[in-house]
């Protein structure tokens, strides 16, 4: 009787909240374990001087360690595509953590991060191939765990499917 009640409650929870706290916390733990935080890259590689918006976006993080960055630095439509390749590679752990742990305040950030991890037309850009090649096995597995958490939130997302396919088989 008690078990049946617990089951009914679980299926009710599954209906009202598609997110799994387990998948989220596993992905966050995998990111934290896989990416240690070295010193930030030189400003010249992080600052994007293309236009005022690119500059403002890069200044949200420039010169700071990724583990000193939080949602307060990134909320308000941070345009992930505007980061340089070097900046994205260094800050991707905190981008993933914010997407997992602050989904409401992160707003559209998850799509920006996923898009940058997904090959267009099944062919990775040179930048994406380099990002993947420079990661350790544990880091690739953490990216895959992040993508699984994102798929759970948005199961029909094509960018998430493309990215998952690319990051599978770490």
Give residues in contact with Zn ion (CB under 5 A).
50-51, 54
Please name which of 97, 151, 152, 154 lies closest in space to residue 164, comparing C-alpha atoms.
Answer: 151
The angle, 0 to 180 degrees and rounded to 10, between the axes of the packed helices 158-167 and 109-117 is 40
CA distances from 116 to 6, 17, 48, 163 (A): 41, 27, 17, 9
CB of 73 to Zn ion, least distance (A): 19
Q: Which is nearer to Zn ion, 60 or 140 (CB)?
A: 60
Q: Which is nearer to Zn ion, 46 or 164 (CB)?
A: 46
CB of 98 to Zn ion, least distance (A): 22
Q: Maximum CA pair distance of the chain?
A: 65
CB of 61 to Zn ion, least distance (A): 16
Q: Which is nearer to Zn ion, 49 or 130 (CB)?
A: 49
Q: Which is nearer to Zn ion, 47 or 138 (CB)?
A: 47
CB of 58 to Zn ion, least distance (A): 10
Contact 85, 130 (CB under 8 A): yes
């Amino acid at each position: 009787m008690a078990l049946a009640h617990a089951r009914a409650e679980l299926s009710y929870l599954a209906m009202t909240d598609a997110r799994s706290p387990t998948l989220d916390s596993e992905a966050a733990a995998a990111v934290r374990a896989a990416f240690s935080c070295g010193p930030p890259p030189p400003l010249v590689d992080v600052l994007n001087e293309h236009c005022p918006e690119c500059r403002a976006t890069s200044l949200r993080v420039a010169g700071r360690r990724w583990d000193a960055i939080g949602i307060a630095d990134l909320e308000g439509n941070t345009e992930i595509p505007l980061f340089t390749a070097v900046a994205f590679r260094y800050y991707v752990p905190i981008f993933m953590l914010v997407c997992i742990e602050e989904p409401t305040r992160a707003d559209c950030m998850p799509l920006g991060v996923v898009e940058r991890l997904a090959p267009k037309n099944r062919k990775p850009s040179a930048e994406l191939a380099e990002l993947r090649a420079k990661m350790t096995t544990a880091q690739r597995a953490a990216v895959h765990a992040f993508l699984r958490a994102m798929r759970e939130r948005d199961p029909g997302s094509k960018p998430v499917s493309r990215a998952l396919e690319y990051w599978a088989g770490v």
